[in-house]
């Protein structure tokens, strides 16, 4: 098991106390007066189809090394992040303050609104299109989502979408194995 940073105790308002804090430089301020009302679920694995390494964290903190895997040369210069990552074992890492704009959605649109990063929270699940997600990921996702719903009253299960829903011509994640009915059924109405 890879070493983990200590959990944040007495976390600032935009950081969850039960998440490992690993700040990313890949964020900026949301537009003034924006209402956070969208939760975007993603899936990521680095290298593709492999789990458990430090590479996702390295990508989100601009420390990925091209020589670590041939596929990394194509993504080395990306400046991306998400608010959260849930690994296969259910571990929760937070990269960006929930009140800031993480760079997770890219060119995107939801219900006629462009630039989904402006008004969304991004959650990455360690996974891929070809394999089911782990039970521990679903449990952690439900707990995290409940907390986000509590903090952002405009969020609800109807405002929880996949990356594929907001960028359908570019993205397929979280993929066909993500169990939307299961997650939505576990959330408060």
Neighbours of 43 (CB within 10 A): 24
Residue 125 lies inside a defined structural domain of this protein: yes
Residue 7 lies inside a defined structural domain of this protein: no
H or E element: which one contains 122? strand 120-126
d(CA 57, CA 38): 23
Residues ≥6 apart with Cβ < 8 Å to 143: none
pLDDT per residue as tens digits for the range 88-116: 999 999 999 999 999 999 999 999 999 99
Residue 16 lies inside a defined structural domain of this protein: no
pLDDT given for residue 10 in this prediction? 54
SS3 letters across 57-93: HHHHCCCCCHHHCHHHHHCCCCCCCCCEEECCCCCEE
Look up the domain containing 128 and give its range.
Answer: 21-186
d(CA 150, CA 147): 5
Residue 126 lies inside a defined structural domain of this protein: yes
Annotated active-site positions, please?
124
**pLDDT at 6 > cutoff 60:** no
**pLDDT at 20 > cutoff 90:** yes
Q: CATH number of the domain that 67 lies in? A: 3.40.80.10
- What is the arithmetic mean of pLDDT over 155-167? 97
Domain total of the chain: 1
d(CA 118, CA 99): 10
pTM: 0.93
Residue 14 lies inside a defined structural domain of this protein: no
């Amino acid at each position: 098991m890879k070493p983990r940073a200590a959990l944040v105790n007495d976390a600032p308002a935009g950081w969850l106390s039960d998440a490992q804090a690993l700040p990313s430089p890949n964020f900026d301020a949301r537009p003034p007066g924006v209402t956070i009302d969208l939760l975007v679920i993603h899936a990521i694995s680095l290298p593709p189809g492999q789990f458990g390494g430090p590479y996702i964290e390295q990508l989100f903190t601009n420390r990925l090394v091209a020589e670590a895997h041939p596929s990394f040369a194509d993504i080395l210069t990306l400046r991306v992040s998400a608010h959260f990552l849930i690994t296969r074992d259910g571990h929760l890492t937070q990269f960006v303050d929930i009140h800031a704009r993480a760079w997770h959605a890219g060119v995107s649109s939801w219900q006629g609104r462009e630039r989904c990063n402006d008004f969304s929270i991004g959650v990455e699940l360690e996974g891929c299109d070809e394999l089911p997600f782990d039970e521990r990921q679903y449990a952690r996702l439900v707990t995290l989502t409940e907390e986000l719903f509590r903090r952002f009253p405009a969020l609800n299960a109807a405002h929880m979408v996949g990356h594929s829903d907001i960028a359908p011509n570019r993205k397929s994640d979280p993929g066909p194995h993500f169990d939307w009915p299961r997650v939505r059924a576990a959330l408060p109405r």
